Amino acid sequence: MKVSREQMAENRRRILEAASRLFKDKGFEAVSVAEVMKAAGLTHGGFYGHFESKDDLVAQALAHALAADSLDDGGFNDFVRSYLAPRHRDNPEDGCPTAGLAAAIRHQTPAAKATMTEGLRAQIAHIEQALPALSAADKRSAAIGSWAAMVGAVILARSVDDPQLSDEILEQTHAWIDACVRQI
């Protein structure tokens, strides 16, 4: 039975969504194509109708996740608050692909690295636009520094087994970013 273009597009979206959630939760290497297809509610055999290889899936799932991960209309302070929240830390599958996958990307294909690079550029640009009235150079510096601190804080907060330290990492990073942005 032939599948309509609309159904093909929907299946592809489901695969990308399942893959991005699984990759953010478990990492690239710990997730199989069969696991992705099962999570998407599809059979393993349909995978190659959508992707050339797992490497192709990695790059495209990363692009999908990065496109969905951007500042909303709440502004910079709301973004920092929600990013550095226990809810974000505790749910990597629903969280930021940069915090979940940045360390592992160095082992991926040039296409995946290029996708991460473009996602990073886009996120820095979004943060620059959301910052208060600053000079262009100060906005760029604050955007890069804030984004690096936020991503690093989430990675560190997820890596410790002490809940108080984990919360403190998030809270102190938020306070530090606030202080830095006010000083500029």
For the chain, what is the radius of gyration of the CA atoms? 18
Identify the pLDDT of residue 3: 76
Identify the pLDDT of residue 37: 96
Domain boundaries defined on the chain: 5-57, 69-183
Identify the pLDDT of residue 45: 86
The model's pTM is: 0.87
- For residues 175 and 45, give the distance between their C-alpha atoms in angstroms, rounded to a whole number: 50
Consecutive H or E run containing 138: helix 136-159
Q: Sign (positive/negative) of CA torsion 169, 25, 12, 118? A: positive
Identify the pLDDT of residue 135: 86
Identify the pLDDT of residue 109: 95
Identify the pLDDT of residue 184: 61
The residue whose two tokens read 């520094």 is 145
| CATH code, 5-57 | 1.10.10.60
Identify the pLDDT of residue 69: 72
Does 69-183 match 5-57 at the fold level? Answer: no
Taking the chain (184 residues) in runs of 10, the rounded mean pLDDT of each run is 84 95 95 96 89 95 87 80 96 94 94 95 92 85 95 97 98 94 70
Which CATH code, of 1.10.10.10, 3.40.50.150, 1.10.357.10, 3.30.428.10, is assigned to 69-183?
1.10.357.10
Asked if 80 and 86 touch (Cβ cutoff 8 Å), the reply is no
